[in-house]
Structure formats: C-alpha cells, structure tokens
C-alpha cells in the first residue's frame, strides 16, 4: 500500500516539468551567440592554416579549408626556434603553475584562521596591492638590482601569487566546516597535517580552477618577456608568435626566410597561431568538471 501511494504521489511531479519560457530562450540565444563569437575566429584561422596559397590569394577561404594542405604546419614545426620556444613555454608554464599554487595555498591557509594575530592587517596589506602598483620603471630597477634581468626566473618569480586567486582560495577554506578541522586537531594533527589531510583533499575543484587560471595566464603572457628578457633562448611562444606576426608581413623578412611566395605568409601566420593555441586548449577538457564548482564554491563564504 505504501508503494502504491508513493507511485501515485510521484507521477504528477513527472508530468509537471517546467517548460522553457521566453527568458530561457533569450538566455539560450545569448549563449549561442557567445559560443559563435569565440568559435568562428578559431575556425577561420584553422581554415587559413590548412588552405593552399592559391586559395588564400583568391580569397576563397572563410570557415572551411580550401585545397587542404599541411605544408604550413610542416614548415612551422620544422623550425628549431619554434619547437624549442614551444617546449620552453610548456616547461615554464608547468613550473610556474606548481609554484604559484603552493604560494597561494600557503598564503590563504593561515589567513582563514580567526585567531591568527595580525590577520586583519595582513589582509589589508595584501588587498592594498590590488589597487596600487609601483609601475614598470620601478619594477625594472628592482629586477636589475636583484639580477633578474635577462634571466629566465624573471618570468616565474614576480607573478607567483595573484591576490584575486588567493582570496578565492581563502573563501573556499572558509566554507569547509570547522568541525572537520577541530576533529583532526583532537586526534593530534597539527596545522600542516590538517592542511594535507583535510583541506587539500576537499579543495580539488578550486585547486584545479586556480591552476587553470595560472597556467593560461602564463602561457598567454609575453609582455614581461618583451620588457625584461633580451636573450631569445628564453622567449616564450607568445613572444615568438608576436615577433612572427610583426615581421612576417614585411617583404624583406619574407625574402630572408624564404616566404616570398604570395599567400605563403598568411598560411604560416595562421599555422603558428594554431600551434601555439592547441596545447593550452587541450588542458580544458581535463579540468572542465572542476571549473564551475571551483569558481562558485570559492566565491561565497559557506
């Protein structure tokens, strides 16, 4: 009799599913437009990189390759400078992300303790750096005195922590019940063990999200290398790509590099952009399941 009543109670709920309203269709249309705004430029660049020179000269290429060819990718990947820059950027991004996450966790974890002496003052000083910046010239002089100019570590050390990311991490720690920490402390666990055994295992979403933020920022960064690194050996891929985009259209550079063929410069430029874009795009599917929960849970206390 109980099962019958449960079935009769649940059936009306199944039939009362909410139908999409006008607002839902508007949101869907906006999402589709945003997806197209992000996807169409990538499709256009990919089509140009896979099309023949003659098709580009005739301007037949829009969003689909014409006269499919991989010559541009072979030329780009056969360049030792490009492959080394790509490998160096991957190593730089990995090292930077690991160190940045360590610094973020080590800064956010103590600040979530209410009984930490001077916690309010430390928070004010940290947030102060978000609104006030010394400027490029003082930074240049500081790096010069520290011996970081033209050194690969100048691409790692200055940006090891983001105040915004630290606040997200700290807010996430606030949302973890204090009863878990107190029970671990009763069992004799110290602060470090509580962090390793309680907080970090529960923080996988925000750790993955912030790691993605740091990795994308470092992979796409080139202004610091442009200002502080002169040795081309330590130029990241984005700076090399910036130089290619600036120089490949010049006739004299095309003649020196053997790119004097009409339309060839366009395919090489598009192929360079795609090769630099693909590695970081491959990271998103692995972290997608953590991304939304990491941002939303770390953004609101409790």
User: Given phi > 0 = left and psi -120 to 50 = alpha, else beta, which region is 117?
Assistant: beta
**Among candidates 268, 37, 51, 301, which has minimal Cα distance to 177?**
301
pLDDT 10s digits, 147-204: 888 888 999 988 888 899 998 888 888 888 888 888 888 888 888 888 888 888 888 8
Looking up tokens 């399941």 gives 289
pLDDT at 255 over 70: no
- Tell me: the pLDDT tens digits for 81-101? 888 988 999 999 999 999 999
Main-chain phi, psi angles of 263, to 5 degrees:
85, -20
Architecture per CATH, domain 71-299, reads as: Orthogonal Bundle (1.10)
Alpha-carbon gap, residue 164 to 87, rounded angstroms: 29
Name the 3-class secondary structure at 229.
coil
d(CA 72, CA 48): 10
**Which of 13-27, 31-45, 279-293 tops mean pLDDT?**
31-45
CB 46 within 8 A of CB 64: no
pLDDT of residue 177: 85
pTM confidence score: 0.78
Higher pLDDT, 112 or 263: 112
Q: Residue 300: which pLDDT band, with cuts at 50, 70 and 90?
A: very low
| Cβ pair 296, 221 in contact under 8 A | no
Residue partners of 222: CB distance under 8 A and separation at least 6: 236, 238, 239, 241, 242
Q: What is d(CA 114, CA 278) in angstroms, rounded to the nearest whole number?
A: 44
Instruction: Write out pLDDT tens, residues 163-174.
Output: 999 988 888 888
221, 236 Cβ separation under 8 angstroms:
yes
DSSP state of 250: S
């Amino acid at each position: 009799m109980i099962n019958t009543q449960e079935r009769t109670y649940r059936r009306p709920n199944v039939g009362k599913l909410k139908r999409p309203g006008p607002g839902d269709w508007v949101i869907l249309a906006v999402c589709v437009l945003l997806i197209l705004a992000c996807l169409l430029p990538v499709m256009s660049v990919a089509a140009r990189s896979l099309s023949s020179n003659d098709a580009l000269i005739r301007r037949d290429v829009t969003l689909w390759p014409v006269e499919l060819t991989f010559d541009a990718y072979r030329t780009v990947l056969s360049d030792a400078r490009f492959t080394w820059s790509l490998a160096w950027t991957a190593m730089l991004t990995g090292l930077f992300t690991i160190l940045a996450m360590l610094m973020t966790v080590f800064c956010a974890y103590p600040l979530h303790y209410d009984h930490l002496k001077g916690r309010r003052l430390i928070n004010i000083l940290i947030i102060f750096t978000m609104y006030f910046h010394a400027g490029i010239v003082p930074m240049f002089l500081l790096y010069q005195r520290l011996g970081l100019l033209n050194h690969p570590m100048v691409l790692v050390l200055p940006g090891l922590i983001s105040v915004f990311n630290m606040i997200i991490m700290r807010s996430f720690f606030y949302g973890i019940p204090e009863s878990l920490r107190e029970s671990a402390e009763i069992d004799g666990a110290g602060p470090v063990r509580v962090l390793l055994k309680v907080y970090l295992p529960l923080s996988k979403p925000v750790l993955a999200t912030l790691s993605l933020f740091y990795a994308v920022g470092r992979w796409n960064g080139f202004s610091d290398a442009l200002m502080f690194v002169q040795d081309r050996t330590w130029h990241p891929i984005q700076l090399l790509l910036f130089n290619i985009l600036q120089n490949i259209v010049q006739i004299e550079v095309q003649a020196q590099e053997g790119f004097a063929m009409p339309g060839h410069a366009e395919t090489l430029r598009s192929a360079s952009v795609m090769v630099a874009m693909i590695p970081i795009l491959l990271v998103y599917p692995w972290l997608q399941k953590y991304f939304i929960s990491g941002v939303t849970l770390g953004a609101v206390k409790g």
